Structure 1
Amino acid sequence: MKQRIITGVLAAALFLPIVIIGGNLFTLLVMLLAVIGIFELLRMRKISFFSSPGLLSIILTMIVVIPDHWLSVFTFNDFTRFDWFLLGLLLLLSLTVITKNRFSFDEVSFVLLTVLYVGFGFFYLNETRLLSNGLQLLFFILFLIWATDSGAYFIGRSFGKRKLWPKISPNKTIEGAVGGIMCAVIVGLVFQLFLPIYDYQSIIIIAVVTAVFGQVGDLVQSAFKRHYGVKDSGKILPGHGGILDRFDSLIFVLPILHLLQLL
């Protein structure tokens, strides 16, 4: 627990000032986090980070994550983000032939899925910060996720009896999940009192969506780890695990909120 607290304080001391500063520094941080996230997933699949598939994974992730105003600097002949991604896909498929199926079609599928999962999650993290009220929104969503996690943990421990999804995450309960949603709504309403963002109805909707899909994002990461037989996605944060262990809810929630046009 002591190690967990120390790591959390140090990570917050590094992360929060960059979130507040925003701009290119925050974009660079997001891109670094995305690369680390890809590294963690590739390692689960036992694909070398420094192999041809690994390097292509990084490039494809950058194509997805990089903001539009940066991407325009690297384009020529009117290449779009989709064009670059398609080129990367074709190169990945070509590797199955070059390696004589040592790098297989299944691994191509894995790379593409992880690139889209991690890439779009961190892309929308950066896009949220770029909004006119992005700092306020980002802290709002972070508070909702923290409230959901804390509420689910403490209410689940105190009142949890029925398992939510034991084959994926044996400690989570239905009572804890509902408690997490309730805590997110309460924290959202309190946040609105001090830093108004939307009307109260919108706040409740955003809080519920964030709490529900935040827990789904956490379960998705648990499913990944259980499938590949690992306890944590990485070891970069002692006591907490990897980057994806800490950002799994956030990078799942933000694309949903943007798709539903709630931000």
Structure 2
Amino acid sequence: MKQRIVTAVIAAAAFLPIVLYGGWPFVLLTYLMAVIGLGEALRMKKIPLLSAPGTLSVLMLFVLLIPERYTKAIVQAGYDKLQLILLMVLLLLVYMVVSKNRFTFEDAGFCTLSVLYVGFGFHYFMETREAGALFVFFALFITWATDSGAYFIGRSFGRNKLWPEISPKKTIEGSLGGILSAVLIALLFFFFADLQTELPQLLLATAVLSVAGQIGDLAESALKRHFHIKDSGAILPGHGGILDRVDSWLFVFPLIHILQIVN
């Protein structure tokens, strides 16, 4: 527990000021975190990041992550992001042929889905920051409130397992406690910050985001359980890897745009 707290404090001290500052430092940090997260996902499938499919996956990720305000150069060249991503997918299939099926169609599909899984979450992380640091902190705080509320309420009152086949310790009571905690944080943001959102819409969206964050957590747990590993990595002592820390974000940040909390 002590190691987890120390790591969390150090990480927050480095991470939060960059989020607040924004600009190129924030973009570079996001790209770095995304590459590490992608590397953790590929490593589960025993695909090295420093390999032909790993390199193609990173290039695909870089394209997907390009912030919308920087896509003008691609458009002026007569292309769009989707075309470049499809090119990378085709090259993965070419490598499948060149490798004489040592790199399989399943491997190519895993690489592609891993890029989409990691890439969309971090892309919308940057797009949310573009809309304002307030929206990033809103998403982060309701995610953290969901995790903390689910942990403490589940530990105190949890009796009914939520999804024991994937995460044996999570309970229905804890899940509901996480949603309630997120809603309380949303109320604080509504009264003390200007999210420019009506209260009923904000509370409903917060409940959906809280559930989505918990599903993101379960999705990564299912992925790790499938590959029989405990943590996605070891870059954060006491916490595991990048994916272990951002699994909820990868669902929350795209949804915060879909739900039009950020316009």
Per-residue deviation, 1:69: 3.0
**Structure 1 match to 2:151:** 153
Instruction: Tell me the equivalent position of 2:259.
Output: 260
Deviation at 1:44, TM superposition (A): 0.5
- Separation (CA, whole Å) in 1 of partners of 2:167 and 2:71: 39
Question: What's the CA shift for 1:74?
Answer: 5.4
Match of 1:179 in 2: 177
Aligned to 2:41: 41
CA displacement 1:46-85 (0-9 Å, x = unmatched)? 0011110000010000110111333434566311101111
TM-score by length of 2: 0.96
Structure 2: where are the runs of 5+ without partners?
Answer: none
Q: Aligned pairs, how many?
A: 261
Considering only aligned residues, what root-mean-square deviation do their CA atoms show, in Å? Answer: 1.2
Counterpart residue identity of residue 208, structure 1: A
Tell me the equivalent position of 2:167.
169
1:207 matched to which residue of 2?
206
> Residues of 2 paired with 1:91 and 1:107: CA distance?
13
In structure 2, C-alpha distance between the alignment counterparts of 1:163 and 1:184, rounded to whole Å: 21
Q: Classify the secondary structure of the residue corresponding to 1:172.
A: strand
**SS of aligned partner of 2:256:** helix
Q: Distance in 1 between matches of 2:15 and 2:207?
A: 26
If the length of structure 1 is used for normalisation, what is the TM-score? 0.96
Shift >3 Å, 4+ stretches: 71-77
Deviates more, 1:107-116 or 1:21-30: 21-30
Match of 1:182, SS state, is: helix
Secondary structure of 1:140's counterpart equals helix
The one of 121, 140, 143 equivalent to 2:141 is 143
Match of 2:129 in 1: 129
Q: Is 2:88 aligned against 1:60?
A: no
Q: Supply the distance in 2 between the matched residues of 1:24 and 1:127 (Cα, whole angstroms).
A: 13
| Contact preservation (8 Å) 2:183, 2:207 | yes
Map Cα deviations across residues 126-182 of structure 1 (whole Å, 9 max, x no partner): 000001xx2111111111111111110011011111100001000000010011101
Deviation per residue, 1:6-54 (Å, 9 max, x gap): 1111101110110011012111111111100100001110001111000
Contact 2:232 2:241 in 1 (8 A): yes
Q: Distance in 2 between matches of 1:204 and 1:78?
A: 42
| Contact 1:31-1:66 within 8 A present in 2 as well | no
